[in-house]
Structure 1
Amino acid sequence: MAITKDMSIIEIVQKYPDTVEVLMNAGMGCLGCAAAHFENIEQG
């Protein structure tokens, strides 16, 4: 399964744990907060 812009941030992190470092380096510091459940990768 590929990562798409409409996937939630938490969904991506759960399916692909190696993405945490990439997302953090891109400025997405809220990977474990409530917003990560509702924001998709495009919004984040």
Structure 2
Amino acid sequence: MADLEKHVSGDMLVGQIVNEHPEVIDTLMGIGMHCLGCPSAQMESLADAAYVHGLDPQMVVDAVNKKIDGGVA
């Protein structure tokens, strides 16, 4: 069963997500978000970062949460 307390949302900062869930780095990079270490990532929400990269924010959130739940995303 998924642990909803571990789930991320689009309004969370990319830097926070990467720090709390390093297992999602490969998922984010795999979908085209390669600037995880850049200064913007520390202050940019996941949804905003998705928009900047031309990605559907909900798809990114879903992929990250799938990975956190132990799935392959």
Aligned match of 1:22 = 27
Larger Rg: 2
Q: TM-score, normalised by structure 2?
A: 0.58
Task: Give the aligned length.
Answer: 44
- The whole-number CA distance in structure 1 between the counterparts of 2:42 and 2:21 is 15
- Deviation, 1:38, is 1.1
| Deviation at residue 16 of structure 1 after TM alignment | 0.4
What is the CA-CA distance between 1:26 and the residue it aligns to? Answer: 1.1
SS state at 2:37 partner? coil
- Structure with more relative contact order (C-alpha pairs < 8 Å, separation 6 or more): 1
Mapping 1:1-44, distance limit 5 Å? 1=5, 2-44=7-49
Root-mean-square deviation (Å) = 0.7
Structure that is richer in helix per residue: 2
Unaligned runs of 5+ in 1: none
